[in-house]
Structure 1
Amino acid sequence: MNHERILRTVLGISACYVVLLAVWAGWLIEHTPPGTMPYQIAGLLGLFGFLIGVGMMLANRPTREDRRLRKRGLEGWARIDDAHSVGQTDHATELTELELTLTVPGSETYSGRVVYDLSPVDRPRFAVGETLSVRVDPQNRDRIILCP
């Protein structure tokens, strides 16, 4: 989960919403029919919840670079040489640094490291000696993405 992107999204939506509330309270409220205030407030609250939900959903998507790498990267595989924990996260997973031996068809084998957010359920798939599918950026061989 990309906490920075989600925080920026929530702050941006909240700031725009405060402006909308100021316009509504300062100008629109006096031009609306009497007796519709509760419906307007319910509509504004519903709009805020909808915008926050959609914003968080879009903010949690992979970045454009990651999507491009997953789509256009060179396909290869990686053997896990070593795996050790870097630290716990706030959502019952742990950051794990994986030392890999990467093989991409048409080039020499090389080694690299990746920090991966690993859940306890996936731990057997990321054991030392296991082989994973990867995508490698053709212009920068150090930029890889795991495709488990």
Structure 2
Amino acid sequence: MFHERIVRTVLAVTAGYVMVLGLWLGWLVQRTPPETVPYQIIGLLAAFGSALGLGMIWSDRPTRADRKLVKRGLEGWATIESARRLAETADHGQITSLRLRLTVPGSATYTGRVLYEVPEGQGERFTPGATVSIRVDPKDRDRIILCP
């Protein structure tokens, strides 16, 4: 998950909502019929919830660089040499340090290390000796992404 991006999105949506709320309280509410105020409040809360939900969906997407790497990176595979669990995530996954032997067709095998969040229930896929699919940036062979 992209926790920092989600926090920034929540802060930005909340700041925008506070500005809209200030505009509504300072200018618009005095120019509308009093019997419509409860409906306006419901509309403002619905807009805030919708903006927050859409913003969180948007911020949980992979970055543009990661999407580009998955689409245009060199296809290869990696054999896991060692896996060391570092921490548990909020959704019961494991942040794991993986030492990999990377193979990209047309080049020599090399080693690398990557931090990866292993989802709950998929620990057996990331044990030493297992092989995983990867994509490698052709311009920077140290930049790799594990493919599900």
Q: Report TM bin, short chain.
A: over 0.9
SS in 2 for 1:116: strand
Q: CA RMSD in A?
A: 0.9
Which residue is 2:70 aligned to? 70
Equivalent AA in structure 2 for residue 121 of structure 1 = G
For structure 2, which runs of at least 5 residues remain unmatched after alignment?
A: none
Structure 1 gap ranges (5+): none
Q: Distance in 2 between matches of 1:119 and 1:37?
A: 46
Encode CA deviations 1:111-141: one digit per residue, 9 max, x unaligned: 0011111134111111111111100000000
Tell me, in whole angstroms, the C-alpha distance in 2 between the residues paired with 1:23 and 1:43: 14
TM-score, normalised to structure 1, is 0.96
Match of residue 18 from structure 1? 18
2:122 counterpart of 1:122: yes
Cα distance in 2 for residues equivalent to 1:131 and 1:91: 25
Take 2:106 and 2:96, find their aligned partners in 1: how far apart are those partners? 29
Distance across 1 between alignment mates of 2:98 and 2:119: 14
1:60 paired residue number: 60
2:143 aligned with 1:135, yes or no? no
Cα offset, 1:6, TM superposition = 0.6
Equivalent in the alignment of 2:102: 102
Q: TM-score, normalised by structure 2?
A: 0.96
Q: Which amino acid aligns with 1:46?
A: A
- State how far apart, in whole Å, the 1-side matches of 2:20 and 2:63 are: 29
- Tell me the distance in 2 between the aligned counterparts of 1:85 and 1:100: 15
Higher mean displacement: 115-124 or 63-72: 115-124
The whole-number CA distance in structure 1 between the counterparts of 2:82 and 2:120 is 17
Give the deviation of 1:14 after TM superposition: 0.6
Cα distance per residue 1:23-76 (max 9 Å; x no partner): 101101111123101100000000000000000010111011100100110000
1:48 counterpart residue number: 48
Counterpart in the other structure of 1:8: 8
Residue 89 of structure 1, CA deviation: 2.0
